[in-house]
């Protein structure tokens, strides 16, 4: 990443905090998938449902039964 890119990203981050939150949630999701850490799944879904990645959280919530064999509630 160039210095100019870093400056632009920092400006966006400071002006759009919800984008920073969404990026962190996506990173957390990737970590859960890599580590197969389902204990964190419900907390992640709750946090993500009120963010820019709410549609992803809703889809994960609906599909969790198929993936884990649990009933949808």
The model's pTM: 0.73
The residues near 2 (Cβ < 8 Å, ≥ 6 apart) are: none
Quick: pLDDT tens for 9-28: 888 888 888 999 999 999 99
pLDDT digit string, tens, across residues 24-61? 999 998 888 788 777 788 899 999 999 999 999 999 88
Sequence-ordered list of residues with C-beta below 8 angstroms from that of 26, at least 6 positions apart, any chain: 53, 56
Cβ atoms of 21 and 52 closer than 8 Å? yes
């Amino acid at each position: 990443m160039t210095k100019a890119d870093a400056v632009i990203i920092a400006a966006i981050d400071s002006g759009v905090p919800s984008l920073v939150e969404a990026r962190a949630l996506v990173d957390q999701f990737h970590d859960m998938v890599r580590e197969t850490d389902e204990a964190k799944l419900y907390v992640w879904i709750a946090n993500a449902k009120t963010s820019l990645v709410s549609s992803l959280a809703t889809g994960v919530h609906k599909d969790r039964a198929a993936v884990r064999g649990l009933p949808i509630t």
